[in-house]
Structure 1
Amino acid sequence: MELSRIDVHLLRGCCLEAERSDVVGYQLEGWSNALNEFSNPHLTAVISEIKTGSRILRELADLSQVHKDRVPLILNPLNIVLPCLSRSLRDITAHYEDRTRQKLNRWRHMYHTMTNEAGGLSLPGRFMAYNQYLSSLRDLLIRSPNFDLNMLEKLRRQIMQLREARGIPPPTIQAGPLVRYDSLLSHVSDPTVHWAEHIFSLPLPSRTALGRHQLSFNDDQISLTVYRNGIDKSPYLLLRIFDQGTPWFSVRGAHELCIERDGSSLQLKRWSRMERRSKTWAVLHFMTWEARNKLTVRLGPEEYALCGEHKLFQARVFDDGFKHSLIVYEDIATRALRLHAAVWDGELRQCPVWTAFVTHQSASPTWLKRVSHHRVRLADVQLYVFCRQYRQQNQRRGAVGAFEIHFVSEEAARRFEEVFYPPQTGPAVVVSTGI
């Protein structure tokens, strides 16, 4: 579906107002510093809501590149809120630049004036309403089960009242197709949750800081979104940057990228068919270390190697009725351990099934228990599962849900135990084994 010039203008308007929000937020922070008003709850709340709005606006612009088929649903609502939001931000700037008043009087005059013109709605409350409305549009765009049609309509009426109070006429141009509100409910229910969505919604069991810190995502000036394409059902990565206020997007399928780790960064390289080698597409730096596609191009064996880790142990296990390869990796930078289960044989050989980070809980003498010659139970371990068919609950035992690992051989079970609890008689001899 191709968008009109007006529709594209509205989506760019999200980025424009996000930039304006950043500027206004910095202005108000300057006031707060100059007036020593750090404890002023109203000023603090306004700054916080404006910064939140900036983030949501950019998120809407990013997600519109992912859910293009649903963009028409949010165009007319955007045409309602963006002019009103823009007027509020420009009004704040006008008050900020009013040199006829002292700074403290400027802030007080602005706060009371803008509260009165909104029928008593406080200035933080005004921006909170904008943010709730924009969040509701985001939920509509991504088919979130949190989408509340009644809340959207309530906020729409409130914003229309704000427009009227500020002398902003109703939208004269219909943006996007005419959509009845009572028909939106059929668009928001999507009972299928992809395993990747589930993984990224899980909390990390621990956070281990990395030593080398680089630039962050720079106050949302850079954004990376991972999503599943609705046509080929494959994962794609959307990268967004700003250049002189204009958003630039680049999309690559996971099957087009080689992903390597270098210390605290991930190197994302695109495969050049012409040069038969990988070339840098993006470099992402993180603060903590704690992811098979039929479209994947054929790569050299070295492209599949995991950099920054070395293998301590490997053995065959029976896992939810399947034969898997269980590997223990040690991170070279942090010395931390990671469990990794992969398909043992067949067409999907070496395809990851799940991984789990070994946290500080493993220091407890009761974390790992040998329950038989071939079976070991881990008292506290969180799995990140990459396969929809895998059912980890079939491996959970007891009231606390200890995770049971069934090794093919008794020797493998013993060696796995020794990785974490070396024999007391001497130094541990850790062996990699293909048993």
Structure 2
Amino acid sequence: MECTRLQLMQLREARGIPPPPIRLNSTIRPDSVLDDDSGIATNIHWAEKIFSLPLPSRTPLKHQQSSKAYGPHAPWSQVRMPSDARILFIRSFNERQITLIVYQSGRDRCPYLLLRTFHMGTPWFSLRGAHELCVERNGSSLQFWRWSSSEHCPKMWANLCFMTWEELVLVYCCFLSFKTRNSLTVQVANEDLALWGERKLFQARIVDDGFMHSLIVYEDYVTKGIRLHAAVWDGDLRQCPVWTAFITHQSASPKWMRRVSKTRVRLADIQLYVFCQEYRQQNQRVNRAGAFEIRFVSEEAAKRFKELFSPALIDESTATESTQT
């Protein structure tokens, strides 16, 4: 079924037809699909939801480059994509001349990245597991590197250029979660764990859905975009992304944030992008208003977090309101 779906996607792209939106069961409320513990919700892989959610802001990236796929490439007949593969998401670059298809193998349950490009009108493909790649940011691009066993050195596999800061961040976080939570990964490189171009404004421990997480506030040097980032605090999955949320102009409102106790802060309007199958954000929205509640371990951390988002510090020009909000 997934192979048929991929072929249909390729035919749509060849004819310039945009991909259809991910359809959810019409009898289920959107918020319950994202967070519900029911069997229907848990059958949806977290990565399938990421790009079906509208962006609350679209912060353009400057100095656009041309995306490139370096290969090695092979014809479709030589691509070993299993018949039971589950497509997680598809992103296109260079006006659909390059397409990134991310799927989960039904055999080892691990994620793989498949690149399709064209040469003289003929499609060519390059396939790598997330565990075989490293990633780093270069301006508006994410560069993926592979190890060349013949030359005994790393070689660039792909340079993917993004139009917005938000999409670049989401693809990066998806990849890092794919690689960290991967049974085939031998080691996660330090370069993978830091997104170049961001500075850390704040970090503290929080109790989040019953787990100990690290909450970090990042600011992008170039766009001045700000985001919240929750990651695993310790253990084998330390620093693995759990969720991220982009801070928009709404944070300038005095009603956006409220400190409800010494260690608890509530955010009135924030959209989480979740990179973990087990995480349930509704457990942090148990209040009547449905605001997202952050529970800090220390009183001092809650105080510093609230002070960071004083309206005087927020530059509304850094985040352009999305037409989809």
Specify if TM > 0.5.
yes
Q: Which has the higher contact order (CA 8 A, sep 6+)?
A: 2
Q: Which residue among 236, 250, 262 is the counterpart of 1:347?
A: 236
Asked whether the equivalents of residues 252 and 310 of structure 2 are also in contact (C-alpha less than 8 Å), the reply is no
Asked whether the equivalents of residues 137 and 195 of structure 2 are also in contact (C-alpha less than 8 Å), the reply is yes
The letter of the residue matching 1:214 is: Q
The letter of the residue matching 1:325 is: S
Q: Which residue of 1 aligns with 2:52?
A: 201
Q: Which has the higher helix share?
A: 1
**Residue 342 (structure 1) shift:** 1.1
Which whole-Å CA distance do the structure 1 matches of 2:311 and 2:16 have between them?
Answer: 49
Which whole-Å CA distance do the structure 2 matches of 1:423 and 1:245 have between them?
Answer: 53
Q: Which residue of 1 aligns with 2:126?
A: 250
Which whole-Å CA distance do the structure 2 matches of 1:289 and 1:205 have between them?
Answer: 12
Q: Which has the higher strand share?
A: 2
TM-score by length of 2: 0.70
Asked whether the equivalents of residues 256 and 297 of structure 1 are also in contact (C-alpha less than 8 Å), the reply is no
Asked whether the equivalents of residues 326 and 341 of structure 1 are also in contact (C-alpha less than 8 Å), the reply is yes
| 2:220 matches 1:308 | no
- Give CA-to-partner distance per residue, 1:214-254, whole Å, 9 cap, x none: 34723322111111112111111111111112110111111
**Residue 347 (structure 1) shift:** 2.2
**Which ranges in structure 2 are unaligned for 5 or more consecutive residues?**
1-6, 26-39, 68-92, 167-172, 174-179, 314-325
- Give CA-to-partner distance per residue, 1:316-349, whole Å, 9 cap, x none: 1111111111111111111111111111122222
Q: Which residue of 2 aligns with 1:365?
A: 254
The letter of the residue matching 2:248 is: T
- Give CA-to-partner distance per residue, 1:139-178, whole Å, 9 cap, x none: 9xx9x889xxxxxxxxxxxxxxxxxxxxxxxxxxxxxxxx
| 2:186 matches 1:297 | yes
The SS at the match of 1:412 is helix
Which whole-Å CA distance do the structure 1 matches of 2:116 and 2:311 have between them?
Answer: 48
The SS at the match of 1:416 is helix
Show the 5 A alignment for 1:102-251: 192-215=43-66, 217-251=93-127
Q: Which residue of 1 aligns with 2:135?
A: 259
| 2:278 matches 1:389 | yes
**Residue 302 (structure 1) shift:** 3.3
The letter of the residue matching 1:201 is: S
The letter of the residue matching 2:242 is: V
Q: Which residue of 1 aligns with 2:90?
A: none
Asked whether the equivalents of residues 193 and 239 of structure 2 are also in contact (C-alpha less than 8 Å), the reply is no
Structure 2 CA distance for partners of 1:347 and 1:14, relative to 1, 3 Å: closer
Q: Which residue of 1 aligns with 2:219?
A: 330
Q: Which residue of 1 aligns with 2:71?
A: none
Between 1:273-282 and 1:378-387, the stretch displaced more is 273-282
Greater Rg over alpha carbons, structure: 1
- Give CA-to-partner distance per residue, 1:188-233, whole Å, 9 cap, x none: x998110100112111111111122234723322111111112111
**Which ranges in structure 1 are unaligned for 5 or more consecutive residues?**
1-10, 19-50, 60-134, 147-188, 425-435
Q: Which residue of 2 aligns with 1:270?
A: 146
Which whole-Å CA distance do the structure 2 matches of 1:190 and 1:315 have between them?
Answer: 30
Which whole-Å CA distance do the structure 2 matches of 1:254 and 1:245 have between them?
Answer: 28
TM-score by length of 1: 0.53
| 2:295 matches 1:406 | yes
Which whole-Å CA distance do the structure 2 matches of 1:396 and 1:190 have between them?
Answer: 18
% identical aligned pairs: 64
**Residue 418 (structure 1) shift:** 1.6
Which whole-Å CA distance do the structure 2 matches of 1:201 and 1:389 have between them?
Answer: 19
**Residue 305 (structure 1) shift:** 2.2
Q: Which residue among 6, 13, 16 is the counterpart of 1:55?
A: 16
Which whole-Å CA distance do the structure 2 matches of 1:236 and 1:284 have between them?
Answer: 16
Structure 2 CA distance for partners of 1:274 and 1:360, relative to 1, 3 Å: farther
Which whole-Å CA distance do the structure 2 matches of 1:215 and 1:275 have between them?
Answer: 26
Which whole-Å CA distance do the structure 2 matches of 1:317 and 1:358 have between them?
Answer: 19
Q: Which residue of 1 aligns with 2:155?
A: 279
Which whole-Å CA distance do the structure 2 matches of 1:406 and 1:316 have between them?
Answer: 9
Which whole-Å CA distance do the structure 2 matches of 1:398 and 1:299 have between them?
Answer: 38
Structure 2 CA distance for partners of 1:247 and 1:393, relative to 1, 3 Å: same
**Residue 377 (structure 1) shift:** 0.7
**Residue 256 (structure 1) shift:** 1.1
**Residue 272 (structure 1) shift:** 3.6
**Residue 356 (structure 1) shift:** 0.8
Which whole-Å CA distance do the structure 2 matches of 1:393 and 1:418 have between them?
Answer: 26
Structure 2 CA distance for partners of 1:394 and 1:14, relative to 1, 3 Å: closer
| 2:304 matches 1:415 | yes
Instruction: Report the RMSD for the aligned CA atoms in angstroms.
Output: 3.2
The SS at the match of 1:340 is strand
Structure 2 CA distance for partners of 1:322 and 1:274, relative to 1, 3 Å: farther
**Residue 273 (structure 1) shift:** 5.2
Asked whether the equivalents of residues 240 and 247 of structure 1 are also in contact (C-alpha less than 8 Å), the reply is yes
The letter of the residue matching 2:101 is: T
Query: Number of residues paired by the alignment?
Result: 257
Structure 2 CA distance for partners of 1:215 and 1:382, relative to 1, 3 Å: same
Which whole-Å CA distance do the structure 2 matches of 1:314 and 1:274 have between them?
Answer: 42
